[in-house]
Structures are given as C-alpha cells and as structure tokens.
Amino acid sequence: MSLSLPVSPGGDCSSGCTAAGFVSVSHKRPKRQILSPSLCCWRFQVFIWRSPSLSLLSCRCVARRCLLARFGPGLSVRHVVPMGTTAKEEMARFWDKNTKSNRPLSPHVTIYKWSLPMVMSITHRGTGVALSIGVSLFGLAALLLPEQFPHYLALVKSLSLGPALICSAKFALAFPFSYHTWNGIRHLAWDLGKGFKITQVEQSGVLVLILTLLSSAGLAAM
C-alpha cells in the first residue's frame, strides 16, 4: 500500500496539485533526501500515517483539548446563574408569607381529632421512656447506695403508709410495664401483617387497655 502526494519539481506546495511530479511513500524505508520547508506539512502528515504510536498520541492530545473545551471550568462558570437571595433570606420570606396568610401549621397536634390509636401510640412511646428511666435509676441506686434492697423496703414499711397509697404507688409502677408489654405484642401482630383494618385496630386497642388494667391491678394487689 502506498500514498502519492502531488509536489511540484521546485518544491512549491501551492503548485503541487498541477505539477507532474509525485512523491510516492510506501511501507519501505524511504531514501534520505533534503526536504524543503514547503514539504514539511506533507511529510508530517505522512509520518503520522506511518507511525501508529504518534497518531494515537496526537488523537489523545486532540481529544483532551476537546474535553477541556467542552467540560472545562470556563464553560461551567460561564453558565452559572447568580443567586438572587440566600437560603436564609428565602426561609425568612417563606415564613413571612405564611404568617401574613394565616396558614395553619401541619402536622400539628391541635388541628387533629384525637383517636384511640393516636393516644395509644403516644402512650406507648411515653411508657417506653418511663421504663428506660426507671430501670436506669434502679441500676444506679443498686450500685451507689450503701445498703441492700431489703433495708430500704423495711424503711418504706416503717413509714406506716395507708394501703390505698401503697396500692396506688404499686399500680403506677406496674402500669407502664403492663401497657408496654401488651401493646408490644400488638405491634408484633402488626409486624406479621395482621390487624390493620380500622375495626381491628380499634378492637385490639381496647383489648390492650383491658389487659393492661387487669394485669396492673393484679400486680398492685400482690
């Protein structure tokens, strides 16, 4: 395979297309000859064609320049739209608009009608927090107080408190434990995909309350 390029006898590139002389380039090593400056551009193209590594390097340079021109920082900066306001100003404008429009806040506890599942959900979280605090305080007392538990139990009995007061205190201590236990079983049933209908939710809530009161009263009577 060879490549023929028109070149004038005098070495003028501009008149090479109409000249009769041709320079033939093949895969064989050409003979050394003196090149005029007008032939450098032609010989450079032929050299790139004959040197795959140099052609790949040239393509890489061209591709890099194209990518820089396409995704360079100058382009991104050129297309950045300046922000008219800051986030703080936008939030202030938003709240001013809501205040002037007298719009209600949502979600908000005061605008909802209270229902049994809603109350029981809040109570479940409250009893969980109460149990966590109570167990933590009991553990700290067991570690820090100098005497054992029977000593403090005898101290409470020595106060001669009335049975009603003692039963009420025991009921108050047993209620969070009982409620959180029974309602936790209800949540486990929900995790199994059961009891999601409105009537079933109401019925299971009533059942949890009944079991809680009975078990709390039983523990308080002990």
pLDDT in tens, 105-142: 666 677 778 899 999 999 999 999 999 999 999 999 98
Q: Read off the pTM.
A: 0.52
Q: Compute φ and ψ for 6, nearest 5 degrees.
A: -75, 130
Neighbours of 179 (CB within 10 A): 25
Residue whose structure tokens are 């408190």:
161
pLDDT in tens, 2-21: 444 444 444 444 444 443 34
107: preceding bond cis by omega (within 30 degrees) = yes
Segment 205-219 mean pLDDT: 96
Contacts of 131 (CB under 8 A, 6+ apart): 176, 177, 180
Instruction: Domains for the chain: give ranges and CATH numbers.
Output: 3-73 (no CATH), 109-221 (1.20.1300.10)
DSSP letters spanning 5-30: EE--TT--STTTTTSS-EEEE-SSPP
Beta bridge partners of 4: 24
Handedness of CA 24, 28, 32, 34 (dihedral sign): positive
DSSP letters spanning 145-167: -SS-HHHHHHHHHTT---HHHHH
Average model confidence (pLDDT) across the chain: 75
Q: What is residue 152's three-state secondary structure? A: helix
> Amino acid identity of 54?
L
pLDDT in tens, 60-105: 776 777 666 655 555 444 555 555 668 888 888 888 888 888 876 6
Q: 3 near 43, Cβ under 8 Å? A: no
Shortest CA distance to 183 belongs to which of 119, 114, 121?
121
Distance of alpha carbon 138 from alpha carbon 126, whole angstroms: 18
Distance of alpha carbon 221 from alpha carbon 96, whole angstroms: 58
